[in-house]
Structures are given as C-alpha cells and as structure tokens.
Structure 1
C-alpha cells in the first residue's frame, strides 16, 4: 500500500518521543535524524527535507514543548501539522462552472495513467454533481489511447468524442465543444497526448488546445511511483501551461511518497485527486490532513466514513443490523455483508483507515482471496441451507457435499459455520446490554451511524461551485 515504508520509518522515529513525560534536546536530535533519513529514503526532494526538518526541530525545541505537559504528544502533533502543510494544508477543490460547460484538460507523460484517470474523473464528477460528461480523445499519435478511451466510455456509459488519428487535436477540440453544446453535455474532459519525455512539439500542441478550449482546470496526471522526478515533470508543464492541479496515480502500489511530499512545496501545484486502484471508481479527493494521519499511523476515520456513505445503502445496513440483533442472521445475510465490504475497496486498505489497526496489521497479510472462497462455499449451499444455518451445522454429509461442490476442504466449511455463530453470539450479547454497558465497552458509542446515499456531505467530491 501507499507510503508503507515511509509510514513505518516515521512511526519508528516518533516512538523515540511518544509517551515520554520529559524530553531533552538529545531526544529531539535523535528523532530528527530518523525523520530526515525516512524522508530521503522516500525520495522526497532534498530542499523539502531540509526545510521540513528545520521547521519541526525549531518548534519541537521550543521551551513550551520541552517543559510542558505531554511533550511527546505535542511533538507528534507538530510533525503531523508540518506534514499536512507540506502537502497543501487545505483540500484543493475542483473548479466547476455549474451555469455552463465545465472544461477540463488532462495533461501528463505517457504511462502515467492519464486516459484511465480521465474516465475516473468523469465518473466521479457525474456521480457527485449530476453532470453529463463528454470525454474527448486528442491523443492522435497512439491509436490504442483512442480505443482505450472508447472502451472506458462504454463501461461507464459516458459519450466519447473522437475523429480518428488524421485530424489535428486543435480541430478535434473545437468540434467537440460544438458537439457538447448541441447534445447537452455540461462537462468536457479532454484527454491530450503524452510522450515518454517532454518535447517542444507536444508542448506547442497543448498550448494550441488550451487557447481553443479555455479550460477551467488543467490537471497534470503524475505517476506517484516516479518519486521526486515528478517535480521536474510538473515544473515543465506548469511553465508552459499554468497547471491548476495534479492527480497522483498508482497510490495503491509500492509508492515511496516522494511525489506527494515534494510536488506542492516545490511547484505550488495543489494535489487534487489520487488514484487508489485500477477500477474506474477508485479515484479519491486528496485531503492533506488525512494523508498526514495515514503516514503517521493514526488512521483516517473521515475517509472511512466517506467510503461507507458513498458505497452502502442506509436501508440495507439497518435491515442487516436488525437481523443480526434478532438472531435471524443467515448465510444470505453473510453474503450480503461480504458484498458490502467489497464495494468499499480492498479489505487491507479499509482496515488501515481505522486508527491503531495499521500497527496491528504490520506483520499480517490479509488474503483477499479468502472472501472469494467464502462466497464460493455459500454459493454451493442450497437455498434452504442458506436460510437455515442449523441444517448444515447438524449434518456432516451436507458439509462434505458443500466442500466438494466449492472445491474447498470440510475444515473451511466448519470455519465459516464458526464465523457465523460468533457473529450471532456477539450481536446477541450486544443486544442484551444496556446503553451504559455498551458505552463503557465500545469506543464508538455515542457516534451516529453515517447516513448512506441520502444526500452527500459538503464538498464530498472535492468541487468548488
């Protein structure tokens, strides 16, 4: 997952001061050595590392910290605040023209994931702002890019405007704007051509497209795996086009973090979105304060709440909860629960959003295939068996048949039976507890369950109206 190595090193550095009732200058010095090394290993720009460590050190050595209560916790807060500032401090919102046509120009080098990101962005803006997008294929030098955009458009049921590879991009974009107006599209996302490196011809073509389109946003797609090299690329594009924002891709991979931590500070280009997977719904708004919390192992409850709100239906959640509390929970409900979890993304990614869980998971691998195996086992049951779990629990011949039909072992079927029983027992126990007992044993008591799919939160999609 993104920033894993950086996160581990930063947390290790902060352990030197966390929880200490008294700090010395030497404690701060030792911590800062670790912090500096962790940032350099993450391929963060050297000048950024220098200014960051200087700021943290100066604030951490302040008399108020060294002589105050809980100095270790205050130092952790300083590091968290400075990391947030490094990545932009506030969430950068996308400019939308809701009285006319919003025009967005996607730029970037070849291989950064620009075409896929154009589709993801169209899907997100349509979902959160109820706009009608038009994807425009301007990469005439790579026929595969046009076909890829058309395929993405078909998958998302979004129109794609293209005139093949023999028409100049400046002509295509001019005709696309007329087409959008005639067909009621109020969002244009232009997928421009990329190269393996920056050249004069490409830049001139992008300038021509910009002059005709007059975009509200010019978004640079940056491969986060490239580290601080992304800064050089961003600076070149920004010089010619005045880039308004960046989208970091491949943050679900083995990303060191150099791009995210260097880009804003060096180029002043705000990071607006991040790609968290290959699926077309895996684009998230970039929140600097949330990312800082993730890096320091503090979890990210707000993103978790957003995922629940965006992906799960409130009525389904309440219905499932009622069945669990009543003791009538069966394998159909178990399967429904699994599908809800899968809609929210990878299980490992979800678990890391919960404060404290990332540390517990450090040396444990979550095998996503286990969820698939459970589905296969449940699908090998009869309708009656799914409704009445006791039929399987009391019959070894049924368990053998289900194991054989699913290609799993009988022990796997037995584990599933145990899991179901444990869930029912836990919910039954919770149902019998009074509110005071639940409050004392449940750290989430008093929280209201987020309303799902009944009105989005403010700036959920990261847009400025």
Structure 2
C-alpha cells in the first residue's frame, strides 16, 4: 500500500536513536544517511531530498536538541514538521469565483485518471456544498472518452455537455459555458484531452481553452504510481499553463510516495486532492500534516473521524452510545458496525489511520482479508434472534450449532465471541463521557497518550506527549463541532 516501504525505512532510521539519553553527531549523521536513502528509494526528487535532509540536520544540531531532554523525540518531531513543510504545511481550498459558475479546468496525461477524477470532484461538490455542477466533455481524441464521462455523469446524477467527436474542443467548451450560464450551474468542470506525453499541439489546445474560459482552477491530475515522471509531468504542465493545483490519483496503489513528497517543492503549487480508491466517493482533501503523520507511522486520527462522521448516522450513533452505557450492546449492533466499517473502505487502510498501527509489527501477521468480515457476519447470521441480543446465552452446545450452521470451525466461532466480549468491555469503558477508557486503550497499545513509533520503545511520552494529546483533543473537538454545524445548516 501507499508509503508502506517509506514508513518502514524511516522508522528503521529512527531506531538508531532509541533509548539514547544523549545523541552524538555520529548518531545524527547515521540517522540522516538512513533518512536520505529511504527518501531516494521512495523515488523522491534528488534536490528535494538534499534540501530536506539539510534542513532536518541543521535544526537537529542545535544544543537544545542534542543536549536537551529526550533528543530522539525532538528529532522525530523535527522530521515530522519538515515533512509537513515539504508537502505544503496546510490544506489549500478550491479557488471560487465571486460570480457563478466557478470554472475548473482539469488537465493531465492519458491514464492518470482524469475523467474519473472529474466525476469524483463533481460528486464531492454536490454532496458538501449542495452544488449543481456541469461536466463538459472536451476530450474528442481518446476512444470512448465522451462515453466514459457520460457514464460517470449518470452514476453521480450530474449533467454532461457534449457535442460528439467532430466539433473542435474549444468550440465545445464555448457552447458548454453558454449552457452552464443558461442553466445557472454553480460549477463547470472541463474534461480536457490528454496525451501519452506532453506535446505542442496538446498545450496549444489547452492554452486556447484557458484563454476562452479564464478558469478559477487549473487542476493537474497525475498518477502517483509514476513517481519521478509525475513530477516531470507537473513541471511541464505548470510551465505551459501555470496550474493552480494538483490532484494525485492512485495513492492507494503500490506507490513509493515520491510524487507526494516532491511535487509541491518542485512546482511551488499545492496538492489539493488525493484519490485513494475506485469508488466515486474516494477523493479526499490533501492535508500535509496528516500525510506526514501517516508516513511516520503516527496514524491520521482526524481523517478517521471524518470518514466515520461521513458514513455514520447521527441517530444510530446516539442509540449505540446508550446501549454501550447500559451494557446492552449485542451482536445485532455489532453487525451494524461491521457494515458501517465496510462502507468506510479496506480494513487495513482504516487500521493505518489509528495512531501506532501503521507498520506495527503486531499487525504484520494479521490477515486483513475482506472475507474475514464476511465470515464474522455468517457466524452472526447463524445465531437466533435471542442469541444475538443476549450473548450470555452462547453456551458450548449453542456454539457448536452455530459452527455447523455457518460452516466455520468451532475455534473460529469461539475466537470471534471472545473478541466481541473484549471489544464490548473496551467500548463500555470509553462510553463514560471522559477520556479514561480511550487513555487506557492507548496505554494498552503502548502509546502513552501519543502516537507511538514502533521500534522506538513505546510512546513518545513526557511533556511533549501530554501537549500533543491536548492539541489532538482540541483539533478533534473543533472538527466534530464544525461538522455538526454544517449538518445542522443543511437541515435548515
């Protein structure tokens, strides 16, 4: 999965500092060498690597770091901050026009996922802003490009303007813009033509469309799996069009992360969105600080909360909280939770968002096969209504009957029931309205209230941990309150 190799290498580099009360210049040089090799192996641009390592080394050499308390922790903190800085420091929102429509021109090479990304972004705007976008099919060269966009439009219930393959793309865009003004569309997303490589004819056409529409956004769609080629492509398009932002696709694939870590510094243009999956909902705002945390194996708890809030029903969440407080949480509720988890995406990706879980050695042997969830569901479906709502009824003879009914070994049935009981106990502790249950869970995970670095000997601990935990809590509260206000505003 994305960044897995880089995460592992960076954690390995940090192990040199583990347990050292004082870090010498030689220790620092060795760690920097490992970090440099990890980044180069991840296909990060050479100049970006050199500048990054230089900044980290200069900041780490200060007396307050090498001779201060917990120097290893401070160096981890510096690496985290510099990774965030390299990728842009903070999320950059879409540029919006004061008058409708806001025009978004999408560009990119063939195979980068441009047409699918047009649909994903249109759906995101429709869901989050209740917008009425129009898609313009301006790719008249690639076979079936127009058909693909129309299929995407039907899938997300967004209109597509097209005039076939015999009309000049600039003329199609001109007529599409007139249609958008006539229908009062909030957004226009132009799906332009791609090529297998950058050429003069393509750039001239894109320049003409830019001159005609004066777009508020020119988003370049690049395939993260192409590594350094993605950076070269971004440079070429930026020189010709002066792009306003980048969308990285296929970040969930077997990518080494070089593009994500290089594009911002090379082009000085922000990564605005990332595509991580084939579903139309799989387009996320790019948060450099969260991505840096994930690369360092520290998880991404804020994105996990957003995913949960997007997929969970508020009324159902309240009912669940009441059941946990009353200790009446049963297998029927557990089944609902499994179905909600499946909506959120692959289980291994969700696990990596939990602090301390990314590349955790304990998870190396855990099989995240989606079929496992189906087996759990099959076991629950083989229970009677009474058994599902009162797990205490599950004596050995009932368990044997369930095993025969679902076709799973009795050991698997016993293991699932044991895990359910453990989870129920943990949820019960966390439902008391304070952080004690969560802190206990984090303690059990070796996190000490702060995302742990596997191989660093437990959590980051100390005052830094407490301050980070408080900051995280404030961020989570702020984010949840903001999302709640948004939902209330939509209802009104």
TM over 0.5: yes
Cα offset, 1:410, TM superposition: 4.3
Distance between the aligned counterparts of 1:232 and 1:440, measured in 2?
46
Compared CA separation, residues 429 and 106, structure 1 to 2 (3 A): closer
Q: Aligned ranges for residues 33-48 of structure 1 at < 5 Å?
A: 33-48=33-48
Equivalent residue number for residue 310 of structure 1:
310
Root-mean-square deviation (CA, aligned residues, Å) is 2.7
Deviates more, 1:246-255 or 1:135-144: 135-144
Deviation at 1:255, TM superposition (A): 1.0
SS of 1:15's partner is helix
- Distance across 2 between alignment mates of 1:286 and 1:294: 12
Distance of 1:38 and 1:434 partners within structure 2: 42
Other-structure match for 1:463: none
Q: For residues 342 and 418 of structure 2, what CA distance do their matches in structure 1 show?
A: 21
Q: Residue 69 and residue 421 in structure 1: after superposition, are their counterparts in 2 closer, same or farther (change >3 A)?
A: closer
For structure 1, which segment, 348-357 or 411-420, has the greater mean C-alpha deviation from structure 2 after superposition?
A: 411-420
> CA contact under 8 A between 2:192 and 2:206: conserved in structure 1?
yes
State the partner residue of 1:364.
365
Tell me the alpha carbon deviations over residues 58-107 of structure 1, each in whole angstroms, 9 at most, x when there is no partner. 22112232222222222112211111111112222211225411110110
User: Which residue number corresponds to residue 111 of structure 1?
Assistant: 111
1:454 aligns to 2:454 (yes or no): no
CA 1:153/1:377 → structure 2, altered by over 3 Å: closer, same or farther?
Answer: farther
Q: Measure how far apart 1:397 and its partner are.
A: 6.7
Number of matched pairs: 454
Residue of structure 2 in register with 1:462 after alignment? none
Alpha-carbon distance in 2 for matches of 1:312, 1:98 = 34
Q: Deviations over 1:271-301 (max 9, x none)?
A: 1111111111111111111111111112122
What residue is the counterpart of 2:321 in the other structure?
Answer: 321
CA positional deviation for 1:219: 0.4
User: 2:284 aligns to what SS in structure 1?
Assistant: strand
Structure 1 range deviating more: 41-50 or 60-69: 60-69
Distance 2:158 2:271 in 1: 25
Which range is displaced more, 139-148 or 190-199? 139-148
SS of residue in 1 equivalent to 2:376: helix
* Counterpart mapping for 1:64-463 below 5 A: 64-97=64-97, 99-360=99-360, 361=362, 363-365=364-366, 366-381=368-383, 386-389=388-391, 393-394=394-395, 396=397, 400=401, 403=403, 406-427=406-427, 438=437, 441=440, 450=480, 454-456=484-486
Higher relative contact order (CA 8 A, sep 6+): 1
Shift of residue 399, structure 1, vs aligned partner: 5.2
TM-score normalized by the length of structure 2: 0.85
Deviation, 1:217, is 0.3
- Listed one character per residue, the Cα deviations across residues 86-134 of structure 1 (whole Å, up to 9, x for unaligned) are 1112222211225411110110010111111111111112222221111
Change (3 A) 1:284 1:80: same
Task: Please say which of residues 175-184 and 408-417 is displaced more in the overlay.
Answer: 408-417
Q: Structure 1 residues 418 and 219 mapped into 2: Cα distance closer, same or farther (>3 Å)?
A: same
Q: How far does residue 310 in structure 1 lie from its aligned partner after superposition?
A: 2.3
1:309/1:452 contact within 8 Å kept: no
> Alpha carbons of 1:288 and 1:194: their partners in 2 closer, same or farther (altered >3 Å)?
same
Alpha-carbon offset, residue 350 of structure 1: 1.5
1:4 alignment counterpart: 4
Change (3 A) 1:291 1:436: closer
Bigger mean CA deviation after superposition, 16-25 or 71-80 = 16-25
Q: Which residue of 2 aligns with 1:60?
A: 60
Q: Mark the runs of 5 or more structure 1 residues left unpaired by the alignment.
A: 458-465
More helix by share: 2
Cα pair 2:22 2:67 within 8 Å, conserved: yes
- Under a length normalisation based on structure 1, what TM-score does the superposition of the two structures give? 0.89
Query: What is the distance in 2 between the residues matched to 1:309 and 1:151?
Result: 29
Task: Give unpaired runs (5+ residues) of structure 2.
Answer: 443-448, 450-468, 488-492
In structure 1, how many angstroms separate the alpha carbons of the residues matched to 2:438 and 2:123?
40
| Contact in 2 for aligned 1:309/1:451 (Cα 8 Å) | no
TM-fit CA distance, 1:171: 1.3
CA contact (8 A) 1:308 1:452 kept: no
Contact conserved, 1:312 with 1:453, CA < 8 A, in 2? Answer: no
Task: Tell me the SS of whatever aligns to 1:97.
Answer: coil
How many angstroms does 1:385 deviate by? 5.2
* 306-315 vs 221-230, which moves further: 306-315
